[in-house]
């Protein structure tokens, strides 16, 4: 909680809703009476504090803040001075809240003297902090401050209080540093020893978790319920078993069965006097035995001195009698005892091994994953091997993998043990050869040499070459070569030895056979010097290409080149040479490889099976690698080389939208007019890609030639038509500025404009492109049936578009709108109107008087628009009740004024000149003056859209007549 500007005391907010409920019902009443937590801000830093219930102060006293600071710093003189002011009733009083906060802080700091002073000055001993809802007793117990806890308990601190997580002071008192004194104190004040927190954890469970044997003893003797389970269903004994806490578990077992306190010396009588069932007694003994043997074995593995006390206990337990006959299920007994024997054997504790071997009814050859004899052979303890053999261990016994004790000795290089075992039992030839394979994998040369004198290694040496190479141990490989392996022959994975060495380290070839200290380069040099071929041996790949695929370092490549590797050799089934493979395999080392191969004489114009040269691949695969492209061009790479699709590097760069690459190729003289096998030039290639960055910049670079932007495919498609299909306004702009012809049609007789018009309601994104095309004269080639869509936009009051239509070549004409009239929901209008819909009637149907006046003012009329025509009469009848009163008034005014002869003549001549397509040519062939020709083409407005007055309901025909009278007179003559 933060301090406000207008108050100097703490605003109290008590919150008990988030406090967890106790698992003990008798704590519920206490909870409602406890003090609620709160916090306030001191010096802009959040400080946990506490408050009494229902306290409300208006100001925060400065003295209270000083008190907290004095507690933190341990300033006793300041503390005494402030507390005396409190007693003296100074106006700078210290609130109860600050006393409580100070007490919590003093407990955290372990300041016993200050705690005593604060409590005597009125601080509440059961106050709670805001964050964890802990009391001072919780804090003292958790910190291990016994003196403070004793003082608080003496002042009636609640020993049963629980924090936000349901912990009592007894639970939080348990910690790894030891808590005996604190536990004894709390238990003396009747702390509930079986209290469980919100996770159902008791103090005993926590003591086991932290392996505090003294705390375990205290809590068990105090009456802890040994059967209680936590939230995951574990008892304290389960936890000790899971953690492998031998000392804790032994005490727990003995306490549970005999109620005696834990001491090693007491194990002797206790183990003899257990009074449960015989099988239960045996289970307890075996569990205790296991917990003793495990640390003994662990110490032995860590080369620590043998714990004589624990070994003595083992002797006592074994001497007290462990008999398998008491077990109903013999398998469980043998499994437990044999695992102890194996553990003792693998740890090399011969004393334990001998003790266990003497156990009555023990099955010394029992094995699951490994037998005792195998464990002894594994660590090379010949003394234990002989001991086990004397006790009846069988050297013929196999584990689940079919391995013998001899196998364990050989794969770990223990030849003396192997000799002893082989003397007792010689396996079959097949078994011995299998052991040779294991020895190779484990890089055990001595074991191989030993086996070579007892079995035929020569007949399996070739199949072992792969495993030998993967060890990177040249001694093993040389041994196999000496025993008949062909260094250029096929190994286990149908590859020669050198290729296997090059594959080492590849992610999917991450074999556990490879040693961590493996040096790939040394193995490759060894193989090459031993006669391995550095060039391709069919049907395999070439070593250079395999090295690239596996991202080998440059030293490997240089070593192969130094030993005669052919840098222009076809290296794989795709026809890649080393130079093309560098890019085709997307090698991360391609800059260094490229330089090395070019220096070694690699031909940059050698292509793969797809016809792609290194330059093709550098462009389309390593898109931003200008350095490699420059390097290849400098080395003589052909800029006009075509792949199997006829693509040059420039065309690939255009398709991939790589403007920087295009600039580089253009500077180096690449042909900008190149086309692929399908006839597509660089401009078309830019439309092959669907998404990414750089399209428009690329298009700007390649659309520099008018002939290139107007190229057509066999289906008639042009780049401009493609841009219209994609509604790419920026591409349309670039192409039009580069000279693209908007009149070009595809085989479906579609222009870019008709494609953009699309449906009868073009998308908003298409409007920008529409206007650009119209400004570039696209209307002059628009078929009449596509004008329906333009008239639909007149109805929709698209004023800017109408203005462009009038001034950029569209002729005033009528269209049949019958098929789309339903989209306007204008019932009642005669079909004769829809069959001959003029621009003017379209504007009136759409209630657009501004467009209507604009068309009339510029004489953009058809014969059906003449005053007195049946079309206007039918329109007026059809619009009654369906349009605004302004439209009706406009029609009345327009139809009430007869048109002049000049206007009638102009409209008649305009109608005779026909539709938009070819209109300009027909107009220019007339003998009319240029000024009238321009008027008939509507190139210049007589009145702009902006100058049209919507409030003027009557058109001044006489003004129009007199304005144009001289020119019209000439026209009539």
Query: Read out DSSP for 496-510?
Result: -HHHHHHHTT-GGG-
Query: What does the DSSP 8-state code read for residue 163?
Result: -
Give the model's pLDDT for residue 825.
62
Provide the domain limits for residue 13: 1-166
Give the model's pLDDT for residue 152.
94
CA distance 166 to 168: 7
Give the model's pLDDT for residue 592.
83
For 2, how many CA atoms within 13 A lie in the half-sphere containing its CB?
Answer: 4
Same domain, 64 and 7: yes
Which ranges of 471-565 does DSSP label H, i.e. alpha helix?
A: 474-482, 497-503, 520-529, 543-549, 554-562
- Residue 662 Cα distances to 605, 671, 685, 688, angstroms: 19, 11, 12, 16
Whether 425 is covered by a domain: the verdict is no
Q: What torsion, rounded to 10 degrees, do the Cα atoms 206, 212, 213, 215 define?
A: -60
Give the model's pLDDT for residue 816.
86
Give the model's pLDDT for residue 88.
52
Is residue 229 within a helix (H) or strand (E), and if so which, with residue range?
A: none
Give the model's pLDDT for residue 46.
36
Same domain, 10 and 147: yes
Encoding tokens for residue 713? 């495919």
Bridge partners (DSSP) listed for residue 42 = 45
Whether 116 is covered by a domain: the verdict is yes
Give the model's pLDDT for residue 200.
94
**Helix 278-301 and helix 308-319: axis angle, to 10°?**
150
What is residue 137's three-state secondary structure?
helix
Bridge partners (DSSP) listed for residue 280 = none
Give per-residue pLDDT as tens, 703-718: 988 888 999 999 999 9
- Burial class for 213, CB neighbours closer than 10 Å (0-12, 13-18, 19+): middle
Encoding tokens for residue 548? 């690239």
- Residue 722 Cα distances to 169, 733, 738, 752, 781, angstroms: 79, 13, 15, 8, 18
Whether 602 is covered by a domain: the verdict is yes
Neighbours of 868 (CB within 10 A): 9
Same domain, 10 and 82: yes
CA distance 491 to 485: 9
SS (H, E, C) 874-919: HHHHHHCCCCCHHHHHHHHHHHHCCCCHHHHHHHHHHHHCCCCCCH
Can you give the CATH number for the domain in which 68 is found? Answer: 1.25.40.20
The parts of the chain modelled with pLDDT lower than 50 are 1-61, 254-277, 327-329, 507-515, 952-964, 968, 972
Q: Of 590, 617, 637, which residue is a domain's last?
A: 637
What is residue 742's three-state secondary structure?
coil
Is residue 928 within a helix (H) or strand (E), and if so which, with residue range?
A: none
Whether 870 is covered by a domain: the verdict is yes
Whether 261 is covered by a domain: the verdict is no
Give just the sign of the alpha carbon dihedral 827, 830, 835, 839.
negative
Tell me how far the alpha carbon of residue 642 is from its chain's centroid.
40
Same domain, 621 and 659: no
Same domain, 33 and 86: yes
Same domain, 104 and 34: yes
Give the model's pLDDT for residue 517.
58
Q: Of 613, 637, 661, which residue is a domain's last?
A: 637
Give the model's pLDDT for residue 580.
92
Give just the sign of the alpha carbon dihedral 829, 831, 836, 842.
positive
Give the N- to C-terminal CA distance of the chain in Å, as an integer: 98
Whether 776 is covered by a domain: the verdict is no
Which ranges of 758-821 does DSSP label H, i.e. alpha helix?
A: 764-775, 787-795, 799-807
Contacts of 841 by beta carbon, 8 Å cutoff, 6+ apart: 833, 864, 865, 871, 872, 875
Query: What does the DSSP 8-state code read for residue 781?
Result: G
SS (H, E, C) 808-833: CCCCCCCECCHHHHHHHCCCCCCHHH
Whether 457 is covered by a domain: the verdict is no
CA distance 475 to 460: 17
Q: Of 583, 615, 637, which residue is a domain's last?
A: 637
Same domain, 15 and 102: yes
Same domain, 119 and 46: yes
Whether 885 is covered by a domain: the verdict is yes
Encoding tokens for residue 847? 């209630």
Same domain, 549 and 627: yes
- Residue 613 Cα distances to 230, 312, 540, 543, 681, angstroms: 70, 80, 22, 20, 20
Same domain, 67 and 52: yes
Contact of 658 with 698, CB cutoff 8 Å: yes
Same domain, 633 and 643: no
- Residue 567 Cα distances to 502, 522, 537, 562, 621, angstroms: 17, 22, 15, 11, 21
Structurally, how many domains does the chain consist of?
4
Same domain, 681 and 556: no
Contact of 132 with 99, CB cutoff 8 Å: no
CA distance 599 to 961: 87
Encoding tokens for residue 444? 């055990």
Encoding tokens for residue 326? 């008491």
């Amino acid at each position: 909680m933060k301090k406000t500007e207008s108050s100097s005391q703490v605003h109290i907010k008590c919150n008990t809703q988030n406090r967890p409920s106790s698992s003990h019902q008798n704590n519920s009443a206490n909870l409602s009476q406890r003090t609620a937590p709160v916090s306030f801000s001191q010096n802009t830093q959040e400080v946990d504090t506490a408050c009494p219930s229902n306290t409300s102060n208006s100001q925060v006293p400065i003295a209270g803040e000083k008190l907290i600071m004095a507690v933190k710093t341990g300033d006793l003189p300041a503390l005494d001075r402030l507390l005396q002011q409190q007693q003296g009733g100074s106006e700078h009083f210290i609130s109860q809240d600050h006393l409580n906060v100070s007490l919590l802080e003093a407990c955290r700091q372990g300041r016993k003297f200050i705690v005593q002073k604060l409590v005597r000055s009125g601080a509440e001993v059961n106050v709670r902090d805001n964050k964890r809802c802990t009391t001072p007793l919780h804090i003292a117990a958790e910190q291990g401050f016994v003196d403070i806890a004793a003082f608080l308990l003496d002042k009636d601190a609640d020993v049963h209080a629980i924090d936000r997580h349901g912990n009592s002071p007894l639970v939080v008192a348990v910690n790894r540093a030891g808590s005996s004194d604190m536990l004894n104190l709390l238990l003396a004040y009747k702390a509930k020893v079986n209290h469980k927190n919100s996770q159902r954890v008791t103090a005993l469970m926590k003591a086991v978790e932290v392996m505090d044997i003294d705390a375990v003893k205290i809590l068990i003797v105090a009456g802890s319920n040994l059967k209680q389970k936590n939230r995951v269903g574990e008892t304290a004994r389960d936890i000790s078993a899971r953690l492998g806490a031998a000392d804790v578990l032994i005490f727990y077992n003995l306490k549970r069965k005999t109620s005696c306190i834990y001491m090693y010396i007491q194990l002797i009588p206790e183990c003899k006097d257990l009074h449960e069932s015989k099988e239960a007694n045996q289970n307890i003994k075996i569990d205790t035995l296991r917990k003793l043997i495990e640390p003994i074995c662990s110490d032995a593995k860590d080369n620590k001195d043998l714990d004589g006390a624990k070994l003595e206990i083992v002797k006592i337990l074994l001497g007290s009698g462990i008999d398998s006959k008491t077990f109903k299920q013999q398998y469980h007994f043998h499994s437990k005892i044999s695992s102890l024997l194996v553990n003792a054997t693998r740890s090399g504790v011969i004393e334990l091994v001998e003790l266990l071997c003497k156990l009555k009814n023990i099955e010394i050859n029992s094995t699951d994953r490994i037998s005792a004899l195998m464990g002894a052979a594994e660590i090379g303890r010949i003394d234990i091997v002989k001991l086990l053999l004397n006790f009846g261990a069988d050297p013929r016994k196999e584990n689940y993998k079919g391995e013998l004790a001899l196998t364990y000795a050989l794969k770990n290089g223990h030849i003396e043990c192997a000799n002893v075992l082989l003397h007792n039992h010689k396996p079959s030839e097949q078994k011995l050869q299998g052991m040779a394979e294991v020895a190779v994998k484990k890089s055990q040369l001595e074991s191989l040499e030993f086996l070579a004198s007892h079995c035929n290694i020569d007949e399996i040496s070739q199949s072992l070459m792969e495993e030998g190479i993967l060890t990177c141990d040249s001694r093993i490989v040389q041994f196999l070569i000496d025993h008949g392996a062909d260094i250029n022959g096929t190994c286990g994975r149908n590859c020669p030895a050198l290729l296997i060495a090059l594959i080492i380290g590849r992610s999917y070839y991450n074999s556990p056979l490879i040693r961590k200290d493996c040096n790939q380069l040394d193995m490759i040099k060894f193989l090459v010097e031993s006669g391995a071929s550095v060039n391709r041996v069919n049907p395999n790949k070439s070593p250079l290409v395999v090295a690239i695929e596996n991202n080998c370092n440059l030293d490997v490549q240089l070593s192969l080149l130094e030993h005669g590797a052919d840098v222009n050799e076809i290296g794989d089934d795709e026809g890649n040479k080393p130079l093309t493979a560098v890019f085709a395999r997307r090698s991360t080392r391609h800059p260094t490889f490229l330089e090395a191969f070019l220096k070694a004489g690699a031909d940059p114009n050698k292509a793969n099976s797809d016809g792609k040269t290194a330059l093709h691949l550098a462009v389309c695969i390593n898109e931003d690698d200008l350095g490699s492209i420059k390097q290849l061009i400098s080395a003589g790479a052909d800029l006009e080389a075509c792949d199997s699709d006829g693509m040059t590097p420039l065309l690939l760069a255009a398709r991939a939208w790589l403007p920087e690459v295009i600039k580089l190729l253009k500077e180096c003289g690449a042909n900008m007019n190149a086309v692929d096998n399908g006839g597509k030039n660089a401009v078309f290639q830019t439309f092959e890609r669907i998404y990414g960055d750089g399209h428009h910049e690329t298009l700007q670079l390649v659309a520099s030639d008018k002939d290139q932007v107007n190229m057509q495919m066999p289906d008639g498609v042009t780049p401009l038509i493609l841009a219209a299909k994609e509604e790419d306004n920026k591409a349309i702009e670039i192409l039009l500025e580069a000279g693209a012809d908007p009149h070009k049609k595809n085989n479906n007789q579609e222009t870019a404009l008709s494609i953009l018009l699309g449906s009868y309601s073009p998308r908003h994104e298409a409007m920008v492109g529409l206007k650009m095309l119209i400004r570039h004269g696209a209307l002059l080639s628009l078929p009449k049936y596509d004008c329906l869509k333009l008239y639909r936009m007149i109805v929709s009051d698209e004023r800017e578009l109408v203005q462009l239509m009038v001034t950029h070549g569209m002729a005033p004409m009528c269209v049949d709108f019958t098929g789309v009239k339903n989209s306007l929901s204008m019932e009642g209008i005669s079909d004769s109107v829809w069959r001959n819909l003029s621009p003017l009637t379209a504007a009136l149907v759409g209630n657009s008087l501004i467009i209507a006046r604009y068309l009339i003012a510029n004489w953009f009329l058809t014969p059906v628009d003449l005053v007195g025509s049946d079309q206007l009469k039918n329109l007026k009848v059809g619009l009654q009740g369906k349009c605004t009163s302004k439209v009706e008034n406009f029609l009345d005014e327009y139809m009430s004024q007869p048109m002049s002869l000049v206007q009638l003549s102009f409209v008649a001549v305009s109608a005779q000149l026909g539709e938009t397509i070819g209109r300009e040519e027909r107009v220019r062939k007339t003998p009319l003056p240029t000024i009238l020709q321009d008027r008939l083409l509507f190139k210049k407005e007589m009145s702009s859209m902006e100058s049209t007055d919507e409030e003027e309901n009557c058109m001044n025909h006489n003004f129009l007549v007199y304005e144009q009278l001289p020119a019209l007179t000439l026209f009539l003559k």
